């Protein structure tokens, strides 16, 4: 039992979470750089100033990926490393870093997948209104062109924006992530519209200026709900809930973000529920937002669920298996989400993130044994394979993450990586799961059905 021959097996990371070097070589500040310096936002008052220092260790990190058999690497560009003020003068040293990284990946047989924006919004633009400013989409398009001009001769795969549900929902609705603000619906809908315009304009830029034929998409969050049973009624109800619109949590809703891209309009319920809080939509906006994309990228860790009156979400129960993040282990989500998303939007699905945080440390034998992560990967990938057998078109799987890193408001306690990072010394140690994933890749998925794996 194998995945298709052209299946993309890879890993993922994000600039702010791994690069460090937050003021090196002319880089400008972003909202995470600025606001994590304040106490109270991040566990232990930690920040990404140094992180994994990938900026200075990228060549060794790429060699490590090669050792693990990684074929595709999804990484993000730091906007302010390229444009310190978000617009205007280009920082050539910062741009050169990404050019060197791409060259190093290709030299080691690893295909780069570039994400233009993974939450690290330029501080200078934030101070000009950020996503509330209608000009924000033009700022993003200018930035996109700089990156495309520099890298598209070697980069084929592009993702515009990562998890807008999270950086808008957590950053501006509930204040959990940078810039740690709380806004009302009137502002949040306008931010949404400007983010979607930024996505659409970036797609236009990539299509127009790429030096080789690009493959373009995005990386959204918000997976689908899973049905309580396999009855037609339960499946229909899970679909309904997956794409529903609610007033209280609309920034996190799937259809709120995806429908404008694929259908050229916001969900019908949104107009009724939000009323005057809906954004102003100018002539031509929806045409820009609904620029054709090549795939639907989605980051999935657990099934979508709402809280119940008993204190457990619908995907949880007393004593259920949970990751270090406290998220229930729900492998069936990789069966249902690709099926539901492909059925609704008719685009190939890219699992742009999937993985788990676990309690990992270097043990007395000098190795990192993480059997829970191996078990997690087997369970989730088996469900993904089953989804594909039943009709979902899936183009690839990016494990999150290639190495332990700065986990946003949780700081460095949560370890998602296939590689352990000692933040005191920056020493990397490939975990058992990293060697297991190498077997998965080398066998094109057959290893997920085996009870054994080889370390050497």
Indicate the annotated binding residues for substrate: 17, 118, 162, 301, 400, 407-408
CA–CA separation, 363 vs 361, rounded Å? 6
CA–CA separation, 160 vs 210, rounded Å? 14
163 included as an active-site residue: yes
Q: What share of the chain is helix, strand, coil (3-state, %, to 5)?
A: 45, 15, 45
Q: Which is the catalytic residue, given 111, 253, 353, 383?
A: 353
455 included as an active-site residue: no
CA separation, residue 439 to residues 298, 447, 452 (Å) = 24, 6, 10
CA separation, residue 98 to residues 10, 92, 111, 215 (Å) = 18, 10, 14, 19
CA 60, 47, 368: angle at the middle one, nearest 5?
45
Ramachandran category for residue 260: left, alpha or beta (phi over 0 → left; psi -120 to 50 → alpha): alpha
The first and second tokens of residue 217, run together, are 């998409």
Helix (H, G, I), strand (E, B) or coil at 203: helix
CA–CA separation, 62 vs 199, rounded Å? 29
The first and second tokens of residue 25, run together, are 């070589």
* Sign for the pseudo-dihedral over CA of 319, 323, 327, 329: negative
Q: Which residues of 98-121 are buried (b: 16+ CB within 10 A; e: fewer)?
A: bbebbebbeebebbbbbbbbbbbb
Closest among 236, 252, 245 to 266, alpha carbons compared:
245
User: Which positions make up the binding site?
Assistant: 17, 118, 162, 301, 400, 407-408
CA–CA separation, 399 vs 395, rounded Å? 14
Helix or strand run (H / E) with residue 376: helix 371-389
Question: Are the beta carbons of 416 and 401 closer than 8 angstroms?
Answer: yes
CA separation, residue 415 to residues 152, 419, 422, 439 (Å) = 32, 9, 11, 21
Looking at 141-184, which runs of residues are DSSP E strands?
157-162
Count other Cβ atoms within 10 Å, centred on residue 82.
Answer: 26
Strand 349-354 and strand 111-117: the pairing is unpaired
Kindly compute the dihedral angle of the four CA atoms of residues 130, 251, 287, 337, in this order, to the nearest 10 degrees: 130
Count other Cβ atoms within 10 Å, centred on residue 280.
Answer: 9
Q: Which is the catalytic residue, given 19, 104, 111, 163?
A: 163
Phi first, then psi, for residue 120 (nearest 5°) are -90, 75
Which residues are known to be catalytic? Answer: 163, 353
């Amino acid at each position: 039992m194998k995945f298709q021959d052209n299946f993309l097996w890879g890993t993922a990371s994000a600039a702010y979470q791994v690069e460090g070097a937050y003021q090196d070589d002319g880089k400008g500040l972003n909202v995470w750089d600025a606001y994590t310096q304040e106490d109270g936002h991040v566990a232990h008052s930690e920040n990404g100033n140094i992180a994994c220092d990938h900026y200075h260790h990228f060549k060794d990190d790429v060699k490590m990926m090669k050792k693990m058999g990684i074929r595709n690497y999804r990484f993000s560009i730091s906007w302010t490393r390229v444009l310190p003020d978000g617009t205007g003068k280009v920082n050539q040293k910062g741009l050169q870093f990404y050019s060197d990284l791409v060259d190093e990946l290709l030299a080691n047989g690893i295909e780069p997948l570039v994400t233009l924006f993974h939450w690290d919004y330029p501080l200078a633009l934030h101070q000009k209104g950020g996503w509330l400013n209608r000009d924000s989409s033009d700022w993003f398009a200018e930035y996109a062109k700089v990156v495309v001009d520099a890298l598209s001769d070697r980069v084929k795969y592009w993702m515009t924006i990562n998890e807008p549900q999270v950086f808008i929902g957590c950053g501006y609705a509930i204040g959990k992530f940078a810039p740690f603000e709380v806004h009302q619906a009137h502002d949040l809908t306008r931010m949404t519209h400007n983010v979607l315009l930024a996505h659409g304009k970036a797609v236009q830029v990539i299509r127009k200026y790429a030096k080789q034929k690009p493959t373009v998409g995005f990386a959204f969050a918000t997976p689908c709900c899973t049905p309580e049973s396999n009855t037609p009624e339960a499946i229909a109800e899970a679909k309904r809930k997956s794409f529903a619109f609610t007033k209280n949590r609309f920034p996190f809703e799937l259809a709120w973000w995806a429908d404008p891209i694929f259908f050229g309009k916001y969900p019908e319920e949104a107009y009724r529920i939000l009323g005057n809080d809906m954004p102003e939509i100018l002539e031509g906006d929806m045409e820009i937002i609904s620029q054709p994309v090549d795939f639907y990228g989605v980051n999935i860790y657990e099934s979508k669920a709402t809280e119940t009156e008993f204190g457990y979400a619908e995907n949880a129960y007393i004593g259920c298996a949970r990751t270090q993040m406290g998220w229930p282990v729900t492998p069936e989500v990789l069966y249902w989400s690709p099926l539901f998303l492909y059925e609704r939007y008719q685009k190939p699905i890219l699992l742009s993130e999937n993985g788990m945080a676990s309690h990992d440390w270097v043990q007395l034998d000098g190795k990192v044994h993480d059997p829970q992560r191996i078990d997690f990967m087997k369970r989730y990938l088996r469900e993904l394979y089953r989804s594909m057998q039943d009709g979902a078109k899936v183009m690839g799987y990016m494990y999150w993450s290639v190495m332990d890193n700065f986990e946003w408001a949780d700081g460095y306690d949560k370890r998602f990586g296939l590689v352990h990072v000692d933040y005191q010394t920056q020493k990397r140690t490939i975990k058992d799961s990293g060697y297991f994933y190498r077997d998965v890749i080398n066998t094109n998925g057959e290893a997920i059905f085996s009870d054994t794996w080889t370390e050497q």
